[in-house]
Amino acid sequence: MSAPTRRRWREWYPLVVLVFGLLGFRTAVADWNFVPSGSMEPTLLVGDVVLTDKRAFGPALPVVNRVLWRTGKPARGDVVTFYPPGTDKLYVKRVVGLPGDVIASDGVRIVVNGEPVALDVDRVVGLAADGTEALGEQPHAWRISRGGSAPAGQWSVPEGHYFMMGDHRDNSVDSRRFGPVPADRVIARVSRVAVSFSTSWPFVDRVAHRFE
């Protein structure tokens, strides 16, 4: 290696190490994604940047978001990033149905395998309402705002698939429209809000909350 080449290598070496270190971290440990819509309100808001845990389901390449190998499976109630069938646009929703489940909904309430999920209404303002739902191990918030325009029906979840829904029940394009999501298109579990450019508050409370 010539002297000029060695000199250039010494100059670029720190940047190369930084780039590969960051790529490795985002592949195997954690990544971050912007929340583009209000479909997960009030849990996640437009302008939030969420931190995702790549250790939950397996390492996944950043940007292209392809899982290299599986180390775990989503649980009911998890907030996850995934690609819906037929699109390469990354979504963020909540896992409602597991493989083999039968999911029913009237647009707001959820019934899993014939058992209604416990739901409380905390606040009603006109046609809008906020409440709490006991899905999975941690209760979470939900919202309606358009007077029940969400799809209603019953869906069977095939083996190797998951049923996703947004917490903003009548403002969410989810599995009620595009169907169950294949397991190999589920990328990572959302662990927390890392930072937010949303004008809604209380931001500090949401950053402190963990979704696991």
The DSSP string of 148-201 is S-S--EEEE--TTEEEEE-SBTTS--SHHHH-PEEGGGEEEEEEEEEEE--S-S
68 pLDDT tier (thresholds 50, 70, 90): low
Task: State which amino acid sits at residue 72.
Answer: G
Please pick, among 39, 175, 191, 198, the residue that the annotation labels catalytic: 39
122 pLDDT tier (thresholds 50, 70, 90): confident
To the query of whether residue 39 is one of the catalytic residues in this protein, the response is yes
* CATH number assigned to the domain covering 3-208: 2.10.109.10
The two three-digit tokens of residue 200, written as one number: 């809604």
- Residue 117 in this model has a pLDDT that exceeds 70: yes
CA angle 49, 192, 120 (to 5 degrees): 110
- Residue 93 in this model has a pLDDT that exceeds 50: yes
114 pLDDT tier (thresholds 50, 70, 90): very high
The answer to whether the bond into 202 is cis (omega within 30° of 0) is yes
Question: Is pTM beyond 0.85 here?
Answer: no
To the query of whether residue 93 is one of the catalytic residues in this protein, the response is yes
The arithmetic mean of pLDDT across residues 96-118, rounded, is 94
> Which of 34-38, 167-171, 204-208 is the least confident region?
204-208
Residue 180: partners with Cβ closer than 8 Å, 6 or more residues away:
97, 155, 157, 158, 161, 162, 163
Please pick, among 93, 175, 196, 198, the residue that the annotation labels catalytic: 93
Q: What percent of the chain stands above pLDDT 90? A: 36
pLDDT digits (tens, 9 = 90+) for 139-148: 899 998 876 5
Question: What pLDDT score was predicted for residue 188?
Answer: 87
Torsion from C-alpha of 85, 87, 74, 208, nearest 10 degrees? -150
